[in-house]
């Protein structure tokens, strides 16, 4: 059981963390909906319309001022990724665009829903489960390492540090890839330390590619510090699959946790275990004085500016309104 802090210190700590969160993350980034559900496995519980309504209610209640939601739909089963034609992604994006167009005339203040894909690596040379032709038409593209057992069967699906470094470098050279999703996830600490991060950081800056700090699998603190020092664009992602991650907890559960440790609360209603990960990332960013401009999710304007520079040939409807 942890030592209790004085009440004024508890409130100061909570307020500070909330301010940090608002400084670095103005929306829910990397959100999955039922579109991501493969036929063999369950990924998410809600439609993008339901996600919009939930966050809209948060805005109306004054609890949370999210400016945007970045969808990151799976194109194929992340547990067994394979190449798909991607037409369904384009149709889904059109639905999102049409839905948001209607909101302009119906709602005074609303979160922007940004259509995106989390495409999976499917080869040792960085091929993805969605073609470049389709990716070039998607508003925001996150490329991530998921299951690679079919690619590296003799290594139990785990590429070496050198192999993974080369895969990420190849992805960064792809003009359709905006973000490298959870680059440390499913990677051993030993291999993570062997990867050529300096080359990756330099290439990320040169190619205008962001690295994700994923709250479900946060980067090690030292790696976050190195990325900030290198000036790499950073994308904070919740990787949410279920709105229950954000729902407010009952008073009985809140009191139970506070009996054990009153140093952390649920300032935005997120689950305690999830909030602890968020708090750890925020404190690391604060420790190294990470500039908000380096965190592309720090505001809708920052995200729009970053995407417009990266996607000059694409038409992204919501950017016109920023």
| Contact of 219 with 207, CB cutoff 8 Å | no
What is the average pLDDT across 127-133?
96
Average pLDDT, the chain: 83
Encode 110-131: b = buried (16+ Cβ within 10 Å), e = exposed. Answer: bbbbbbbbbbbbbeeebbbbbb
SS3 label, residue 77: coil
Question: Running DSSP on this structure, what letter comes out for residue 25?
Answer: -
CA-nearest of 166, 235, 236 to 200 is: 166
By DSSP bridging, strand 112-114 and strand 73-74 are unpaired
> How far from each other are the two terminal CA atoms of the chain, in whole angstroms?
47
| pLDDT tens-digit readout, 31-89 | 899 999 876 677 887 899 988 888 887 666 665 678 899 999 999 999 899 999 999 99
| Secondary structure (DSSP) of 98-146 | HHHHHHHHH-SS-PEEE-EEEEEB-STT--BSB-HHHHTTSSEEEEE--
pLDDT category, 246, cuts 50, 70, 90?
very low
Residue 282, token pair as written in the block: 């925020």
pLDDT category, 104, cuts 50, 70, 90?
confident
- Cα 163 to its chain centre, rounded Å, is 24
| pLDDT tens-digit readout, 6-34 | 445 445 566 777 778 888 988 889 989 99
Residues in the chain, overall count: 322
| Contact of 181 with 212, CB cutoff 8 Å | yes
| pLDDT tens-digit readout, 183-238 | 999 999 999 999 999 999 999 999 999 999 998 889 999 999 999 999 999 999 98
Domains (ranges, CATH) in the chain?
7-321 (3.20.20.140)
What is the average pLDDT across 123-130?
96
């Amino acid at each position: 059981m942890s030592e209790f802090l004085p009440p004024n210190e508890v409130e100061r700590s909570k307020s500070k963390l909330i301010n940090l969160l608002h400084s670095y993350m103005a929306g829910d980034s990397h959100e999955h909906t039922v579109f991501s559900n493969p036929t063999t496995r369950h990924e998410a519980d809600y439609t993008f319309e339901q996600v919009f309504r939930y966050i809209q209610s948060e805005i109306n209640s004054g609890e949370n001022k999210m400016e945007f939601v970045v969808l990151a739909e799976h194109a194929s089963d992340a547990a067994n990724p394979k190449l798909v034609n991607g037409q369904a992604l384009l149709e889904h994006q059109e639905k999102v665009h049409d839905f948001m167009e209607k909101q302009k005339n119906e709602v005074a203040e609303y979160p922007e829903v940004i259509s995106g894909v989390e495409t999976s690596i499917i080869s040792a040379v960085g091929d993805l489960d969605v073609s470049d032709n389709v990716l070039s038409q998607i508003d925001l593209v996150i490329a991530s390492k998921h299951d690679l057992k079919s690619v590296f069967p003799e290594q139990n699906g785990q590429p070496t540090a050198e192999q993974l470094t080369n895969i990420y470098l190849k992805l960064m050279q792809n003009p359709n890839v905006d973000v490298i999703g959870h680059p440390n996830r499913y990677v051993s600490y030993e291999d993570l330390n062997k990867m050529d991060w300096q080359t990756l950081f330099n290439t990320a800056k040169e190619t205008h590619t962001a690295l994700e700090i994923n709250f479900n699998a946060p980067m090690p603190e030292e790696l976050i510090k190195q990325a900030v020092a290198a000036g790499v664009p950073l994308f904070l992602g919740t990787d949410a699959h279920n709105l229950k991650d954000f729902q407010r907890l009952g008073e009985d559960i809140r009191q139970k946790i506070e009996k054990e440790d009153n140093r952390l609360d649920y300032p935005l209603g997120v689950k305690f275990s999830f909030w602890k990960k968020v708090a750890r990332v925020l404190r690391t960013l604060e420790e190294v004085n990470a500039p908000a401009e380096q965190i592309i999710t720090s505001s809708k304007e920052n995200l729009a500016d970053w995407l417009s520079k990266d996607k000059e040939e694409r038409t992204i409807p919501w950017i016109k309104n920023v």
